[in-house]
Amino acid sequence: MELVVYNINGQKTTKKVNLPDSIFNIEPNDNAIYLDVKQNMASKRQGTHSSKERSDLSGSTRKIKRQKGTGTARAGDIKSPLFRGGARAFGPSPRDYSFKLNKKLKSLARKSALTYKAKDDEIIVVEDFSFETPKTKNFIALLNSLNIEDKKVLFVFNETDKNTYLSSRNLKKVKTISASSLNTYDILNSNVLLILESSLANIEKLYA
């Protein structure tokens, strides 16, 4: 697939880039996407939920009434989950929700997500630029010139360009990320993938 490269003013340049079919035009694997997104969201869970079971409560372990002859249900100690103030049965306990995925599967998931973006014409390539000082209004002007100011944008930037990163990070609908940190969840969660020309080369190196 061939795309026109835009400049910082939102105008088409004479340059064009070829999106390699091995990354942007594969047979998408939805199950790989599901697993990679699931892992991404699971790794963000704190897992600090906790409740007290019988062994965690302070209180007597004496049997509160005799087993038979009371006309009511049999009962053990006062810490029983059946009583008010008692323990919780099978309650949550702190745990780690993260799990492992193979590198090949994660790579397949990201290629699949990029393929979906390419098929939906939601990828814009911009030639490399830099701001002299970090100013958010400069980045807003770029979005306006490309007519994507109202869309959720994932901006894939060059890690060495600090001013561009600082200019875009405060925008609510813009998420900045480097090519090496690109993940399936962020790709699918955006409406437009805005990629710097140099960052596109880095993506090709990572996933070719």
For 151-167, what is each residue's pLDDT tens digit?
999 999 877 778 888 88
Q: What is the pLDDT of residue 129?
A: 85
**pTM for this predicted structure:** 0.82
In the chain, what's the furthest Cα-to-Cα distance? 94
In the chain, % of residues over pLDDT 90: 66
Q: How confident is the model at residue 43 (pLDDT cuts 50, 70, 90)?
A: very high
- The H or E element that residue 176 is part of is strand 174-178
* Per-residue model confidence as pLDDT tens digits over 145-202: 999 989 999 999 877 778 888 888 889 999 999 888 899 999 999 999 999 988 888 8
CB-CB neighbours of 162 under 10 Å = 13
Contact partners, residue 10, CB within 8 Å, separation at least 6: 142, 144, 145, 146, 147
Q: What is the pLDDT of residue 22?
A: 92
The CATH code belonging to domain 2-45+99-207 is: 3.40.1370.10
Q: What is the pLDDT of residue 77?
A: 92
Inform me whether the pLDDT recorded for 207 exceeds 90.
Answer: no
Delimit the domains of the chain by residue range.
2-45+99-207, 47-96
Torsion of CA 179, 183, 187, 190, to 10 degrees: -100
Q: What is the pLDDT of residue 120?
A: 93
Of the listed ranges 38-52, 95-109, 146-160, 182-196, the one predicted with least confidence: 146-160
Inform me whether the pLDDT recorded for 98 exceeds 80.
Answer: yes
Tokens 């990320």, residue located: 177
Q: What is the mean pLDDT of residues 41-50?
A: 94
